[in-house]
Structure 1
Amino acid sequence: MCNVCTREAAPAPAPAAVKPNKAIERLKMKHNITTDPTNEEKQKEVEYQPDLLAISTQFSKLAYDIFKQTVVRLQETKAYA
């Protein structure tokens, strides 16, 4: 047998502690979203709660539209021309 086959497997490194994202936590608090993968009742509640991605996409689109309108207004001014 070769050394590779007989070598002991190295133990897997312990997962690093994950810092919670403050923006996501604020959205969860604002929209009263609670997730707990071990609690079946909480999982059923989550099914009917708004999707964070959908909410953030709506806000991103709104911010983009406002920015775009502002740029168009700026481009129409005499100072810009």
Structure 2
Amino acid sequence: MCNVCTKEAVAPAPAPVKPNKALERLKKKHNIVTDPTDQEKQKSVAYQPDLLAMSTQYSKLAFDVFKQTLVRVQETKAYA
């Protein structure tokens, strides 16, 4: 056998993560503490509703109501 076939694969070391300065300023400004070891903080953050999903749901609801109203108006004699 050759050395290539028997050589063990060595995973490269992950690159160090640079702290985001803007994110750190925002945390400092609003006094946000992120501690992965604090279980109480993790529980309070874990079940917050997704803002994009909620806004999408409400905008779809508003559009459906508007569409139904428009169809009703178009079916009236005054519109015809």
Give the TM-score normalised by the residue count of structure 1: 0.48
Instruction: Mark the structure with the bigger radius of gyration.
Output: 2
Give the TM-score normalised by the residue count of structure 2: 0.49
